[in-house]
Amino acid sequence: MPINIYKIKTLPKYLCEMEKPTIILTRKIQLLIDVPADEKKEMWEKLYRYQNRCFRAANFIVSHLYVQEMIKDFFYLTEEVQYKLADANKDEKGIFTRSKTNTTARMVFDRFKGEIPTDILGSLNNTIQSTFSKNKADYWQGTKSLRNFKRDIPIPLPVKCISKMRFDSEQKAFCFNMFAIPVKTYLGKDFSDKRLIMERLLKDEIKLCTSQIQLKDGKIYWLAVFEFEKEEHLLKPEIIAEASLSLEHPIVVKANNVRISIGSKEEFLYRRLAIQASQKRIQSGITYARSGNGTKRKQKALYRTENFESKYVSNRLHLYSRKLINFCIQQQAGTLILKNQEDKIGIAKEQEFVLRNWSYYDLQTKIKYKAEKAGIELIIG
């Protein structure tokens, strides 16, 4: 049964009343266009048109915002001239005919009317306005350059542009319409929590927020943003878990006089070096590979092993950080301290081999969001 997308826009009543703390997480989910083959070309053209208009609109918006903020310097106004970037009808010093946010929104609405849904442009405008406001002090001081948006910009996907979300038992996929384009999820061998998250979304247990659609290498990826409740565990803030990250063991953690090591050099580092060596052997052997269809035929083995290393590292770091948080929960540790990380990162930067193969920052990032989700306070020393 299709669900009403308007139910997704608000949290269930019992969650609103309790006002539980939440956390925002993003999941990357591949989508397939779910229409007959002869109609797919039209759908792809629509998506690429939306992406092109977003690319152009984003650059228009950020350029106009910069001119608005720098108008005094551009026009060399005297000190006596008083102005304000606001609606003249609401503020006597205002110089706009509408609100500041609405100036850029109306500009792109008029320019791309009928070529792209205004909901997309409105979401894009709000995002760029927010980012620009955070950085405008740096722009004014000349310490940061104005952002330049590229042609592969993600397309904003507001919640109201999604409809008819359901699970199709025949296709064994989650299906919905985005921008009136029927799509279905492709989860493959999903070893993460994507399937569980989608099931919870259909049950109204979590909230879907404004997301993005990324077009890359002929594939569609849904950068879905979800608002979760923080997990509830019987944690005690006075119980402290101390963890250290090193090359010998990715994580060593101690709490309540219990000490464990998570991962090992043989498992992580040596396997990573083996993958690198394999890639080098393939690259050196390309010269002697049988040709037939140019470079594509000769580099076939290289394409097949592309991203092996990054996928392996990402999988290991997720596993290590998950085991660390599970240990803290088991020991009821409400506080997690990563010891002496600044010193170790400094040492790693001096040693190219360590910096290239250890992934300090990625592991810290994964630990941080998992700790936040579990309600554990993280302190990086």
CATH of residue 263? 3.30.420
Residue in 210, 176, 122 with CA at minimum distance from that of residue 5 = 176
The verdict on 284 and 338 lying in the same domain is yes
Could you list the pLDDT tens digit for every one of the 381 residues in the chain?
444 443 444 444 444 444 567 888 889 999 999 999 999 999 999 999 999 999 999 999 998 888 887 776 656 555 655 565 666 666 665 556 667 778 888 889 989 988 999 999 999 999 999 998 898 888 888 888 888 899 999 999 999 999 999 999 998 899 999 999 999 999 887 767 888 899 999 998 889 999 999 999 899 999 999 998 877 788 888 899 998 877 677 888 999 889 998 888 777 777 878 888 888 887 777 777 666 666 666 676 676 767 777 888 888 888 889 999 999 999 999 999 988 666 655 655 555 555 456 677 788 888 988 888 888 999 887
% helix / strand / coil in the chain, to the nearest 5?
50, 25, 30
Q: Domain tally for the chain?
A: 2
Q: Which residues pair with 241 in a beta bridge?
A: 336
The verdict on 140 and 162 lying in the same domain is yes
The verdict on 215 and 93 lying in the same domain is yes
Pairing of strands 84-87, 94-96: parallel
The verdict on 268 and 296 lying in the same domain is yes
Pairing of strands 236-244, 251-255: antiparallel
Q: Tell me the C-alpha distance between 113 and 111, whole Å.
A: 6
Query: Which residues are CB-contacts of 258 (< 8 A; sequence separation ≥ 6)?
Result: 331
Residue 137, classified by CB atoms within 10 Å of its CB into exposed (0-12), middle (13-18) or buried (19+), is exposed
Domain enclosing residue 134, as ranges:
1-229
Q: Which residues pair with 173 in a beta bridge?
A: 168
Among the candidates 193, 211, 229, a domain finishes at 229
Q: Which residues of 172-202 are buried (b: 16+ CB within 10 A; e: fewer)?
A: ebbbbbbbebebbbeeeeeeeebeebbeebb
The verdict on 61 and 170 lying in the same domain is yes
